[in-house]
């Protein structure tokens, strides 16, 4: 805010939202704390994964690096990450313990729509196991929407006891998956305490 505004007029964004909701008749006891954080998060400029080198023509390892960096940037900036339309291969070789795309903070990841944004796990080795997205344990929120998350080819999935997970959730936070199609994983979503 500009310095010439009287201190008595300066409000935090959360205070302003709280006062607005109360002024229209909403009981302040029903307003969750920091409600403006969600409103602010939704109205900020998104981080575009394309700006980090994500390409439909790139190799799985290049796209893995690009998406990892884009996720980290979106978490650090408190912004939504957008992934454009296209099929993006992501290397999942030997990612059982860490996930190819680790998420360690609050973030919303949005594609261009189911059937339009496709993230495909490639280079699966059944002896090593794999997880595409790994949401670490912690008290934060992750939202994923409007995309397909596709696992390795059917021929690569040779047994029911293999570790091959689309989204691995470490516990402690809130995860929302909306308009996301997951297929070709031994477990689409794996939750651990």
| pLDDT of the chain, 193 residues: tens digit per residue | 444 444 444 444 445 555 555 555 555 455 444 443 443 355 568 999 999 999 999 999 999 999 999 999 999 999 999 999 999 999 998 887 788 999 999 999 999 999 999 999 998 887 788 889 999 888 889 999 999 999 988 877 766 667 888 998 988 788 999 999 999 888 888 888 6
Cα–Cα distance, 60 to 67 (Å, whole number): 10
Q: Where in the chain is the domain with CATH 2.160.20.10?
A: 46-191
Main-chain dihedrals φ then ψ at residue 70, nearest 5 degrees: -65, -40
Nearest alpha-carbon partner for 130 in 160, 163, 153, 159: 163
- C-alpha distances in Å from residue 55, one per residue of 91, 132, 145, 155: 13, 17, 19, 26
Tell me what pLDDT residue 163 has. Answer: 82
Tell me what pLDDT residue 189 has. Answer: 87
| pTM to 2 decimal places | 0.76
Using the CB atoms, write b or e for 39-59: b if 16+ within 10 Å: eebeeeeebbbeebebeeebe
**Cα-Cα-Cα-Cα dihedral of 118, 123, 128, 131, to 10°?**
-10
CB 100 within 8 A of CB 69: no
Here the tokens at position 97 are 């313990």
Tell me what pLDDT residue 46 has. Answer: 93
Nearest alpha-carbon partner for 114 in 179, 20, 32, 190: 179
Helix H or strand E encompassing 131: strand 130-135
Q: How many other β-carbons are positioned within 10 Å of the β-carbon of residue 77?
A: 14
Q: Under CATH, what is the fold of the domain 46-191?
A: Pectate Lyase C-like (2.160.20)
Q: How many other β-carbons are positioned within 10 Å of the β-carbon of residue 76?
A: 11
Residue that is written with structure tokens 């607005």 in the block: 20
């Amino acid at each position: 805010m500009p310095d010439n505004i009287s201190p008595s007029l300066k409000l935090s964004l959360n205070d302003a939202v709280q006062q607005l909701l109360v002024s229209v008749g909403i009981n302040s006891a029903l307003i969750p704390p920091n409600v403006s954080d969600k409103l602010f998060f939704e109205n900020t400029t998104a981080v575009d994964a394309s700006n980090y080198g994500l390409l439909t023509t790139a190799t799985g390892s290049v796209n893995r690096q690009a998406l990892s960096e884009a996720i980290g940037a979106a978490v650090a900036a408190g912004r939504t990450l957008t992934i454009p339309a296209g099929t993006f291969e992501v290397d999942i070789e030997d990612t059982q313990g860490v996930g190819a795309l680790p998420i360690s903070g609050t973030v919303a990841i949005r594609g261009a729509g189911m059937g339009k944004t496709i993230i495909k796990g490639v280079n699966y080795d059944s002896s090593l196991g794999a997880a595409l997205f790994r949401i670490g344990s912690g008290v934060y929120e992750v939202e994923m929407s409007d995309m397909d998350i596709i696992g390795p080819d059917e021929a690569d999935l040779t047994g029911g006891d293999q570790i091959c997970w689309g989204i691995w959730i470490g516990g402690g936070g809130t995860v929302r998956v909306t308009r996301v199609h997951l297929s070709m994983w031994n477990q689409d979503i794996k939750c651990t305490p």
